[in-house]
Structure 1
């Protein structure tokens, strides 16, 4: 991307999001710029307006200044609007839809650089879309079944030559749930997936795990010595093991570029697993993933890279 003229940066996230705080500090340090922060749950408690006139369009929110000066947006962790409840659920559903539609439209209509485009972000969050796209991009993908059919799940588990893990599809907000290996006790609980489609996937015996932060073509790669601690199945469970800077093999880097381009993402946090035979397996990409701890562990200038993308249109960092 070519350099952009400096304008305001809007960060759409939770009010107490530490990643939003860290980006704000980075923008102030490297670009002398304080971003605008927006927690969508503040609407409709605050007023909002969109107007079209002969002179063009304008938009405003009563608790935010300079919305029309925004030139880039980090679509970090958007929430639905927070509409007060009433006596009738039908009225609540209507008002919720109207408020969500208004605020989303107000924001999405802004002619800004989006990281990420909200439509692409929403689609890419679907694990089924990720797996299909990763497979077509040339990644090795573990044998996977995603279903709400207990019989299909049982057949899949019993047909696999080794252990099978299960995890949530990750398409909705909720408490953290770890990836776990299916045990005999879990088989009896399979009917419970009827109302909660679940991912079942071959367990890859690993040499290590890789977590990559993608910033518009720049790969910040961290090798996690996951097999040295309690996070052998799910590397997110143990941050006490070694985290080191790494690089991807050229073939994997090519697949990564193809994947992110096909998903339409300028930013994402990816989890890959390196098998004992050296094969690199795709697990998932999170357009809103956590990465601050990777910078703390390795010193990689990830926030600076993201800040440069939002301000300059280029995430390159001079190291």
Structure 2
């Protein structure tokens, strides 16, 4: 992608998001830019305005300077507006929808480079979409069932030749939930999936796990020695094991490029598992995934790559 001049960089995330802090520091260090920070929870406590006139369009938020100057946006961790409830609770849903719709429209109307495009980000967050797209992109995908049908789930678990894991199907905010192997105790409470569709998937006996940060074609690959610690089922549970920079085979890299292009994502954090059979198994991609610890563990210049994408339109890092 060709280099470009830039105005401001807008970071949309929670005020206390460490990834937002790290990117802001990287932008100052490498590009001499102080980004605009926006926590969507501040609206409607702060005033917002969008205007169309003969001279064009303009948008403003009372606590943000230079919003119209933003030429790139990191859509990191958008939040719903925090709308005070009415005394009787009447029309609370209406006011929430009006505030969310206004602020989203105000931001989405900015003619900027979006990382990621909000529409693509929302669609790609759906794990069913990810699995379908990964399969079509040529990835190996573990045998999977996602359902709220208790009989279907039980039949799937009984039919598999080895262990089956289960994990959440949704992506909403909430407490961390780990991936677990189905046990007899889990089968006894299978009825609970009726109101919470769940992913059931073949457990892949692993050599290691890979976490890949994709920055518009740049692949920052980290090999996680997950099988030497307590994170054998879920590599997120143990950061004490070895983390090393790695590379993907050309065929896997090709599937990754196809996947991210089909999802319309310029950025994402992917989890792959390398099986004992040597296969690279796709698990998921998170358009808003955590990656700061990967840079700390390996020294890979991931934040610099992201900063370059937002400022120059190219995530390449020189040197």
TM surpasses 0.5: yes
How many angstroms does 1:223 deviate by?
0.2
Determine the structure 2 residue equivalent to 1:111.
111
Deviates more, 1:83-92 or 1:141-150: 83-92
Determine the structure 2 residue equivalent to 1:69.
69
Determine the structure 1 residue equivalent to 2:84.
84
Determine the structure 1 residue equivalent to 2:252.
252
Alignment partners' CA distance in 2, 1:70 and 1:23 = 16
TM-score (norm 1): 0.99
Alignment partners' CA distance in 2, 1:317 and 1:170 = 34
How many angstroms does 1:171 deviate by?
2.2
Determine the structure 2 residue equivalent to 1:56.
56
1:268 and 2:268 aligned: yes
Unmatched segments (≥5 aa) in structure 2: none
Alignment partners' CA distance in 2, 1:170 and 1:98 = 24
Determine the structure 1 residue equivalent to 2:96.
96
The superposition leaves residues 176-215 of structure 1 with CA deviations (integer Å, 9 ceiling, x where unpaired) of: 0000000001001110011100000000000000000000
Alignment partners' CA distance in 1, 2:170 and 2:221 = 23
1:240 and 2:240 aligned: yes
Question: SS at the partner of 1:192?
Answer: helix
How many angstroms does 1:37 deviate by?
0.3
1:194 and 2:194 aligned: yes
Unmatched segments (≥5 aa) in structure 1: none
Runs of 4 or more above 4 Å deviation: none
Determine the structure 2 residue equivalent to 1:12.
12
Determine the structure 2 residue equivalent to 1:147.
147
Residues 107-186 of structure 1 mapped to structure 2, 5 A cutoff:
107-186=107-186
**CA root-mean-square deviation:** 0.6
Alignment partners' CA distance in 1, 2:205 and 2:198 = 21
Determine the structure 1 residue equivalent to 2:223.
223
Question: How many residues are treated as equivalent by the alignment?
Answer: 319
Alignment partners' CA distance in 1, 2:262 and 2:221 = 20
Alignment partners' CA distance in 2, 1:278 and 1:101 = 47
Q: 1:6 to 1:127 in 2, by over 3 A?
A: same
Question: SS at the partner of 2:83?
Answer: coil
1:27 and 2:45 aligned: no
Alignment partners' CA distance in 2, 1:232 and 1:103 = 42
